[in-house]
Structure 1
């Protein structure tokens, strides 16, 4: 697992960390039961504050993608498994939207509004 951040990006660093982990789940590089590196290790490797990594992990927990347990750390939850199954559908939707000239921001808004 390789967490990527872009210091020139306008996105908050914790959002970038969360997006990187989410991307690894969707791509199947992380699956249910896999442990993420401790927040301190990630923070040291990326030269960022440990609380930034913890905030990203908490965001993913709130989304149902991680389980955070004292002593066990961050573990990909079983409810994350369907994301990898959706990867092909997501890629086709994004490609179709791009072909129709729909921006990623508009597509994300439509998906959010369509959520039951």
Structure 2
């Protein structure tokens, strides 16, 4: 699995890692049940703090894309993570673009509700 981070980016490192893993889940590179690299190993490979990787893993866990088991590591969820990851990644992009254009959260929520109707 190839994850690249840009230390010069304004995007925090944990968000870059989260996004890269989310994309890998969405495109099927990391199918359901796949183990993620141990946090310490990934942190060493990326030359970041282990807690940065753990924060990314915790976000993915909160999104129900990853399951973490003490002593067993982190695994991609078996609950259709590719579809969920794709939608989450697209929503993240939408929110970023909306912020750049000056929309507030209420306006974005209303636009989404309208699109879902």
SS, match of residue 45 in structure 2: helix
How far apart in 1 are the matches of 2:8 and 2:2? 18
SS, match of residue 43 in structure 2: helix
The within-5 A match list for 1:10-89 is: 10-79=10-79, 80-83=81-84
Q: Which runs of 5+ in 2 are unaligned?
A: none
CA offset at residue 82 of structure 1? 2.4
Question: Higher RCO, 1 or 2 (CA under 8 Å, sep at least 6)?
Answer: 2
CA offset at residue 106 of structure 1? 2.6
Task: Report whether the alignment pairs 1:106 with 2:98.
Answer: yes
How far apart in 1 are the matches of 2:17 and 2:67? 16
SS, match of residue 33 in structure 2: coil
Q: Which runs of 5+ in 1 are unaligned?
A: 95-101
RMSD: 2.8
How far apart in 1 are the matches of 2:82 and 2:3? 19
Q: How many residues align?
A: 101
Cα contact 2:65–2:84 (8 A) shared by 1? no
CA offset at residue 39 of structure 1? 0.2
How far apart in 1 are the matches of 2:2 and 2:61? 19
Q: Which runs of 4+ in 1 moved over 4 A?
A: none
How far apart in 1 are the matches of 2:74 and 2:50? 14
Q: Please give the TM-score of this superposition, normalised by the length of structure 1.
A: 0.74
